[in-house]
Structure 1
Amino acid sequence: MSVYSFFIFDRHTECIYSKRWTTQQPGRPTTGVANDSVPPSARKAMKDADDAKLIFGTVFSLRRMVRQLGGADDSFLSYRTGEYKLHYFETPTQLKFVMLTDPRAGNMRTVLHQIWATLFVEYVVKSPLAPTEHRGGKGVGNELFEIGLERFMEVVFAPQQ
């Protein structure tokens, strides 16, 4: 079982953090066609921004559909395709944590809650140097959070022997 990517969105719908663990997004074949007028780093940044917008739009639409069909008490937790499974967790302050994993993965809601409670709160929220709002695309740039997330993912997604 593996994790593909991880996103954090703030209450203003901006992606304040994203991390990929695979080079190719599941379900997206590479075409081999490159636009030489745009540097590779800029292409990657544009692709990442587009992916974050697509992920947020999907989550927003599914949350709205679940609430309309099931009522205010129902909540959206995850969905699965043949290529990946999207897991969703929303904090009381309307931060949205989204993780894309292998479709065989179980419920990752507790994992996302642990990332929020033990890593994000400890290293980002409690940091006097971190901004309280991340407007204008200024995201989470905390090295301790990055290191902690890497170690946490290694433990959670370690191969079973």
Structure 2
Amino acid sequence: MVVYSFHIFDRHTECVYSKSWLPPSAGSETAAPSTSSDDAKLLFGTVFSLRNMVRKLGGDDDAFISYRTAQYKLHFYETPANLRFVILTDTATLSMRNVLHQIYINLWVEYVVKNPLAPVEHKNGDGVKNELFELGLDQFIRGLISKQDNGFGMAARVRTRSPETSLTFG
């Protein structure tokens, strides 16, 4: 499993948190800088449009969960407070809806909502700057990736000499 990026959008459609990871390579385990605000706006616009289309075609009971392109798979989770959690992974990854729910319950609620010093609204582009949340999220995502890479998940990934080529077996 490869996780490319993670985003949280508030009820005002602002990206309040964004983190990107580079695809794993032989020597790099560090996080890439945050994506630009234009990328976050495009991502939210795509999610918003697809979610509305699914509701119009399938009724209010149908929920937009994910979509896949040739390069990535987008997973979506919306909370009762209209926070939207989005994670981009490789195309072979199964549903991450439960993972996004766990991030919301165990990390967001615990470290951001219950923090008396954290602002309730994130206006003027001020995102979430909570060290415990960021550390917990990074450990949680790296734990998911290592479970997959160690053979405990659905597939294991073996790197070859060329960084573009990988063999997946499971």
TM-score by length of 1: 0.84
In structure 2, the partner of 1:18 is 18
How many Å separate the matches in 2 of 1:45 and 1:127?
A: 25
RMSD: 1.7
What do the CA deviations read for 1:122-141 (whole angstroms, capped 9, x no partner)? 00000011000111111100
2:108 partner amino acid: F
What do the CA deviations read for 1:28-52 (whole angstroms, capped 9, x no partner)? xxxxxxxxxxxxxxxx999610110
1:157 partner amino acid: I
In structure 1, the partner of 2:150 is 160
TM-score by length of 2: 0.80
In structure 1, the gaps of 5 or more residues are 24-43
1:22 CA drift (Å): 1.4
- Asked whether 1:2 is paired with 2:30, we answer no
In structure 2, the gaps of 5 or more residues are 24-31, 152-170
1:82 partner amino acid: A
Between structures 1 and 2, the one with greater strand share: 2
| 1:107–1:66 Cα change, 3 Å | same
Between structures 1 and 2, the one with greater helix share: 1
1:107 CA drift (Å): 0.2
- The 3-state SS of whatever aligns with 2:134 is helix
2:91 partner amino acid: P
Q: Identity over aligned residues, as a percent?
A: 62
What do the CA deviations read for 1:41-87 (whole angstroms, capped 9, x no partner)? xxx99961011000000000000000010001111000001100000
1:22 partner amino acid: L
- Asked whether 1:62 is paired with 2:50, we answer yes
